[in-house]
Structure 1
Amino acid sequence: MIPAHQPPAAAVTVVGIGAEGWDGLPEASRTALREAEVLIGGARQLDLLPPECAGQRIAWPSPLRPAVTGLLATHAGRRIAVLASGDPMFYGIGRALAEETDDLRVLPHPSSVSYAAARLGWPLEDVEVVTLVGRPTARLAAALHHGRRLLVLSSDAATPGEVAGLLRDRGFGPSRMRVLEQLGGPEERTTAESTADDWPVAQSPGDPLNIVAVACRRAPDALRLGAVPGLPDEAYEHDGQLTKRHVRAATLGALAPAPGELLWDIGGGSGSIAVEWMRTHPSCRAVTVERDAARAARIIRNAQRLGVPGLEVVTGTAPEALAGLTPPDAVFVGGGLTAPGLLDACWEALPVGGRLVANTVTLESEALLVAACRSHGGELVKLAVAHAVPVGGFTGWRQAMPVTQWAVRKTLDTPSAFDTSSGADR
């Protein structure tokens, strides 16, 4: 009979291990490793195990993720132990294994983030964690806000220098930085605090197993980027094809992004709608379709600069360019509304509960949206913005072109196709 305090054996046991190796493992983890017939992990982790762990040792190949299914299948029926750095369920291999098998036991170890917060005296609930392991450094930009504390999971020894360079480039040169290496192990070391501005450009790389602590400070003359949609227009590189700040904020409000959702942004222009959709949450995804190659390249640069390098840019004309794309949770149409079949293609791709928002400034497209609203419901809104400008020695209002916006949610009762032949009363 199995004691109440001991969980039943699992086909796969994931054991978290730190830089201190075998000496830092609790007895339950040691027992799982001793009893395993197959030991899978990184070469560095496998080298931390003593000879008493006699199972067959297999180092992860590269790339790792595609190999998981095959390795588990090859060794099915044997006791498998997988080594992971720190907490396997925190940006670790535990996620991939949980997707492959329900017969999983996880024995965590303190993560490098927990160690770093303890060393720095930073309450973990007040810290944002950004991983750059296998990810572009540019994604850090979305987390930069004055006064925030960040813990950056490094990809290698070069990451601290790359982080300092990005902070300087994004107007956060005064931010305070420290690098914590080999946390929890005998070689643990923390660098002296420095600003990103003062970080030595030619500094020799340190240990590849490190985490970067950043106390964010924005330079006084740097552009302020808030946490909600409606970034300043000057945050974007553009050629005039830009959904302006106030209309952009209203549009994102109508699109209502939620974590994990995917947006199709059709007629991307400068990419502002897709960029700010993705900035609402790290798990939000977007595909923007832009027919002009120069504008598509500009969207990529804007996404990089504003911290969402994962934005997918498709150069092509909708609706043809939509073929093969992952179905969206929401669609924004900012251009090309009069293209034959565009609205039908977008509507067909949306699941029940999905949202479609379309903006236009032309009478022809407005008539189309009026007809679409009549057949599919939703809400029509006229957005008008005026800016105060000098008029001689006085001040007056300059009206921007009004924007007609149609927002609709797909339901089981809405028609499957559009009749947009006319916006006139019938």
Structure 2
Amino acid sequence: MTATVTVIGVDGDDLPATALKALADARLVVGGRSVLSRWAAATLGARSDGAARSGGSSVDGSSRGGGPRTIELTVPAELPGAALDALAASVEAGEPAVVLASGDPGYFGVLRALRERSVPTVCWPAVSYLQRIAAMIQRPWDDITVVAMRGRAFRKAVNVCRARPAVGALTAPGAGPAELGAGLVGWRRTLVVVQDVGGPHEELSIVDPAEAAARAWREPTIVLSLADLDRVGPAGWLAGGEPVPPADGWALGQDAFTHREGMGGSPELRALALARLAPRP
């Protein structure tokens, strides 16, 4: 039988029996430090200490007491080249491997990188961070636009939070609630933040952007940026919010503009200028 990489979503609850069986059989386990310490090191006796940093991961090629080798990811939602190479080599050698991921690995997670490398996979998802935070404030989430704030996408993600009334922001090291809050100071937004998601110190906070910017947050985190905390979006047919203009259009009314007599541009002229500028996030 061909070896596979089993991708297991972790959300703080106990793993199902099928996932535990895959973990027990694995010869290589990959994941962030917190999930490795709970499920690999603590449960199976795998080594994750004294490892060398390489390509965005911490790789330990040895094991203790017959336990699996481990690769510690510095960014849990991303699989760097070294980790992908090790997983592919494990499968080629006929040795099963496991990737421990937070929440749903198929939602802005590690599953995409594995599929792009054509690595045979089995996936056991858990509740996603977005589902978790929405449930904590008793809010449906099918109208929430979701952005990933990794790397160069951070600026675009902030602009989406400014433009849309309900946005779920998937954070990353250096792009967390504090950085998002700093980018939204002056905007009428309420930030709902869960820190240490799925961990022993998980905590929900509802703050304004200035307070979010001033606080230190315990990773991992998830943020909702809401124009109105108490408002629930209307029932729709497409996840992430309506892609078409509302019934009254996107444009502001003529009375929203202040100008000197005879100097104001017509709505048609403003629409033409906006189309020519073609603004993007």
For the aligned pair, the TM-score class normalised by the smaller chain equals 0.5 to 0.7
Q: Note the 1:13-32 alignment, pairs <5 A.
A: 13-18=6-11, 20=12, 24-32=14-22
Q: Which residue of 1 aligns with 2:234?
A: none
Supply the distance in 1 between the matched residues of 2:135 and 2:274 (Cα, whole angstroms). Answer: 39
Identity of aligned residues (%): 26
Once the two structures are TM-superposed, the CA of residue 85 in structure 1 deviates from its matched residue by 1.2
In the alignment, is residue 41 of structure 1 matched against residue 31 of structure 2? yes
- CA 67–158 in structure 1, closer or farther in 2 if over 3 Å, else same: closer
- Over 3 Å counting, the alpha-carbon distance change for 1:87 and 1:158 in structure 2 is closer
Aligned twin of 2:68: 55
**Contact 1:180–1:211 (8 Å) recurs in 2:** yes
TM-superposed CA distance for 1:250, in Å, is: 6.3
Answer yes or no: is 1:78 the counterpart of 2:101. no
Paired residues of 1:39 and 1:57 also in contact (CA < 8 A): yes
Q: Structure 1 residues 175, 87: closer, same or farther in 2, change over 3 A?
A: same
Secondary structure of the equivalent of 1:123?
coil
Shift of 1:158: 6.3
RCO higher in 1 or 2 (8 Å CA, sep ≥ 6)? 2
Deviation per CA, 1:325-376: give whole Å up to 9, x if none.
xxxxxxxxxxxxxxxxxxxxxxxxxxxxxxxxxxxxxxxxxxxxxxxxxxxx
Cα separation, 1, equivalents of 2:274 and 2:3: 50
Give the 3-state SS of the residue equivalent to 2:159 in structure 1: helix
1:5-53 Cα offsets, whole Å, 9 max, x none, are xxx97511111112x2xx5211111111011111122233211113436
Q: Kindly tell me: are residues 176 and 78 of structure 1, through their superposed partners in 2, closer, same or farther at Cα, counting changes over 3 Å? A: same
Q: TM-score normalised to the size of structure 1?
A: 0.46
Written as runs of structure 1 = structure 2, the 5 A alignment for 1:164-313 is 164-168=181-185, 172=187, 174-191=188-205, 193-196=206-209, 198-199=210-211, 203-216=214-227, 245-247=270-272, 272-273=277-278, 276=279, 279=280, 307=281
CA distance in 1, matches of 2:126, 2:2: 19
- Note the C-alpha offset of 1:205: 0.7
Shift of 1:231: 7.8
Q: 2:162 aligns with which of 134, 144, 152?
A: 144
Shift of 1:79: 0.8
Q: Secondary structure at the match of 2:199?
A: coil
Determine helix, strand or coil for the equivalent of 1:141: helix
What SS does structure 2 have at the residue aligned with 1:166? Answer: helix
The secondary structure found in structure 1 opposite 2:211 is coil
Decide whether aligned partners of structure 1 residues 9 and 120 sit closer, same or farther in structure 2, where only a CA change above 3 A counts: farther
Aligned match of 2:258: none
Contact 1:231-1:245 at 8 Å conserved across structures: no
SS of aligned partner of 1:24: coil
Query: Aligned with 2:146: secondary structure?
Result: strand
CA–CA distance in structure 2, aligned partners of residues 132 and 230 of structure 1: 26
Q: Report whether the alignment pairs 1:112 with 2:129.
A: yes
Given that residues 177 and 212 in structure 1 are in contact (C-alpha distance below 8 angstroms), is that contact kept between their aligned partners in structure 2?
Answer: yes
Distance in 2 (alpha carbons) for counterparts of 1:16 and 1:200? 28
Q: Deviations over 1:136-194 (max 9, x none)?
A: 43212134346x2222112247622222222225xx2x211221112333211112x33
Task: Tell me the alpha carbon deviations over residues 200-240 of structure 1, each in whole angstroms, 9 at most, x when there is no partner.
Answer: 65x341202111122126xxxxxxxx9779989xxxxxxxx
Give 1 or 2 for the bigger CA radius of gyration: 1
Query: SS of the residue aligned with 1:106?
Result: strand
Query: What 5-or-longer segments of structure 1 have no aligned partner?
Result: 1-7, 218-225, 233-243, 252-271, 280-306, 308-426
Alignment partners' CA distance in 1, 2:225 and 2:250 = 26
Q: 1:230·1:245 contact (CA, 8 Å) conserved in 2?
A: no
Q: Which runs of 5+ in 2 are unaligned?
A: 46-66, 229-242, 253-268
Specify the code of the residue in structure 2 equivalent to 1:110.
V
Structural mapping, 1:341-420, within 5 Å: none
1:121: Cα distance to partner?
A: 1.0
In 1, the alpha carbon distance for the partners of 2:273 and 2:81 equals: 39
State how far apart, in whole Å, the 2-side matches of 1:135 and 1:120 are: 30
